[in-house]
């Protein structure tokens, strides 16, 4: 496209997909407007600040060494020097006891499993790494496959609690292709010769990238409107349009960088919206996420990631950011995250922030008996709708295309990332891909 054309593009959603697409379109000469319903950019990686100004993410984030799209974007934005990779460490709770779970040696000494089950678990991991094609795994659930190859006891003790924590009541519907990808990504992120994976975190948090992207976008003339809730996506004289505050604004193209069901709602009265397409958009099932961030005046643990292998666990994961990056790199704080994924009808979503804090800190005290709630200095609770999609059997047939049946309207969100799981790296990749498609069509 000729840069003098100045096509206009509206992007709905200020997460990494929308921001990256806006960046690519603006560099190509488009006049871009970003509409973000929240009060800040970054989507699920949006940040906040502690009382002393230390920046953190509302939900825990990190990069793998293989997350090349985020690494390349960081280099282009001039913030790659802020990205550092640290050796990770994992602990596994089972019946209140913490076991090391980082290396193959840790697995072989994992007491809750019999020696035979430990070897089978190790062999199962090796088998997954030797499987080069994920396509056949779309026809079997993760639990079925694991029971077949790893054995029922190991599947129930090692894998089922993690699947339940990640996918709530849909845990037994998740395709093995999803788990295959997760394991491959983690294994390939290891540095040759090292036993543990390395995880990346920005000095100053992920807000470093978001702020620099925002700076570049404004320099390129992009209009950014936060706390802006559109009421509809429609069409005027054959051109895509949005409705804001009762006024219609026409564009040459619209990118909906938001959950599929939200597009179905916003475009429900669009003249090109059909019942089958609306059903396809709404057929993607999403879970919500609840995350608690808190700081303490002394360390709770020396491990970064803690997975919980009890079905009745009060939450999915507990992690210590300071154990990964060191307190000196996060303002001298001991920073912790507790997180859980829940269905839309979960009682957890109805609890107040104080009730969630009490519930989870009580649960944490059972895992770490020496921990006292008096250690807590600051605490915050964040709730995210549409935070994780359910990847079931034949999920590929459900994925909506980026080019929608609505003329000039495009869709890009993490439900289209398959078999990979959602994350900032693939959000950047897909932002670039959909921007290229928009530019091609406009030309």
> What tens digit of pLDDT does each residue of 246-263 get?
999 999 999 999 999 999
Q: Quickly tell me which residue has 């407007």 as its tokens.
A: 33
pLDDT at position 73 over 90: yes
Q: How far apart are CA 17 and CA 268, in angstroms?
A: 23
Nearest to 101 by CA among 170, 178, 161, 144: 161
Q: Indicate the fold that domain 197-204+286-389 takes in CATH.
A: Polyamine Oxidase; Chain A, domain 2 (3.90.660)
Q: Confidence band (pLDDT; 50, 70, 90) for 107?
A: confident
* pLDDT tens per residue across span 37-71: 999 999 999 999 999 999 999 999 999 999 999 99
Q: What is the pLDDT of residue 5?
A: 58
Rounded to the nearest integer, the mean pLDDT of the chain is 94
Residue 3: what pLDDT? 47
Confidence of residue 4 (pLDDT cuts 50, 70, 90): very low
| Ranges of CATH 3.90.660.20 domains, the chain | 197-204+286-389
Q: What is the DSSP string of 244-290?
A: ETTEEEE-SEEEE-S-HHHHHHHTTT-TT--HHHHHHHHTS-EEEEE
What's the rounded mean pLDDT across residues 299-317?
A: 90
Distance CA 330, CA 403 (A): 41
Q: What is the mean pLDDT of residues 172-201?
A: 85
- Lowest-confidence region among 34-38, 159-163, 378-382: 159-163
User: b/e per residue, 45-55, with b = 16+ CB within 10 A?
Assistant: bbbeebeeebb
- 353, pLDDT greater than 70: yes
Q: What is the pLDDT of residues 118-174, one digit of tens each?
A: 999 989 988 888 888 889 999 999 999 999 999 999 999 999 998 998 999 999 999
Range 383-403 average pLDDT:
94
Tell me the pLDDT band of 194, cut-offs 50, 70 and 90.
confident
Q: How many angstroms separate the Cα of 375 from the Cα of each of 53, 297, 336, 354, 381?
A: 20, 6, 12, 16, 17
CB 411 within 8 A of CB 195: no
pLDDT band (50, 70, 90) for residue 359: very high
The pTM of the full predicted model, rounded to 2 decimals, is 0.94
Residue 335 in this model has a pLDDT that exceeds 80: yes
User: Please, what CATH class does the domain formed by 8-47+206-284+396-442 belong to?
Assistant: alpha beta
Per-residue pLDDT at 416: 95
The answer on pLDDT for 1 being more than 60 is: no
Residues of the chain with CATH 3.50.50.60: 8-47+206-284+396-442
The stretch 286-311 carries a mean pLDDT of: 94
């Amino acid at each position: 496209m000729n840069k003098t054309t100045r096509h206009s593009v509206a992007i709905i959603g200020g997460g990494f997909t929308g921001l990256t697409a806006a960046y690519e379109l603006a560099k190509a000469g488009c006049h871009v407007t970003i509409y973000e319903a929240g009060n800040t950019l970054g989507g699920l990686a949006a940040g906040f600040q502690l009382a002393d100004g230390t920046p953190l993410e509302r939900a825990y984030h990190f990069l793998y060494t293989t997350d090349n799209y985020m690494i390349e974007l960081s280099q282009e934005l001039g913030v790659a020097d802020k990205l550092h990779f640290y050796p990770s460490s994992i602990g596994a709770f089972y019946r209140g006891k913490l076991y090391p779970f980082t290396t193959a040696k840790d697995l072989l000494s994992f007491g809750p499993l019999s020696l035979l089950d430990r070897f089978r678990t190790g062999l199962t991991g090796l088998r997954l790494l030797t499987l080069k094609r994920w396509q056949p795994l779309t026809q079997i659930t993760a639990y079925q496959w694991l029971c077949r190859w790893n054995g029922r006891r190991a599947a129930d003790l090692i894998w089922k609690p993690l699947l339940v924590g990640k996918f709530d009541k849909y845990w037994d519907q998740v395709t093995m292709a999803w788990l295959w990808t997760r394991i491959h990504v983690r294994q390939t992120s290891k540095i040759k010769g090292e036993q543990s994976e390395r995880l990346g975190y920005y000095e100053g948090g992920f807000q470093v990238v978001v702020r620099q992207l925002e700076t570049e976008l404004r320099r390129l003339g992009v209009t950014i409107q936060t706390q802006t809730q559109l009421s509809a996506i429609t069409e005027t004289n054959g051109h895509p349009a949005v409705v804001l505050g009762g006024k219609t604004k026409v564009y040459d193209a619209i990118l909906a960088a938001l959950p599929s069901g939200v597009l179905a709602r916003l475009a429900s009265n669009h003249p090109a919206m059909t019942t089958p397409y609306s059903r396809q958009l709404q057929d993607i099932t999403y879970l919500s996420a609840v995350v608690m961030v808190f700081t303490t005046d002394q360390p709770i643990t020396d491990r970064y990631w803690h997975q919980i292998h009890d079905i009745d666990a009060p939450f999915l994961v507990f992690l210590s950011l300071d154990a990964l990056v060191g307190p000196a790199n996060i303002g001298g704080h001991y920073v912790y995250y507790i997180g859980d994924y829940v269905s839309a009808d979960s009682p957890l979503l109805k609890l107040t922030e104080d009730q969630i804090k009490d519930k989870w800190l009580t649960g944490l005290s059972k895992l770490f008996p020496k921990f006292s709630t008096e250690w807590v200095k600051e605490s915050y609770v964040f709730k995210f709708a549409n935070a994780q999609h359910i990847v079931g059997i034949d999920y590929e047939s459900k994925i909506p295309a980026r080019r929608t049946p609505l003329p000039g309207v495009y869709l890009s969100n993490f439900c289209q990332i398959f078999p990979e799981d959602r994350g900032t790296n693939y959000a950047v990749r897909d932002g670039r891909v959909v921007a290229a498609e928009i530019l091609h069509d406009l030309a």
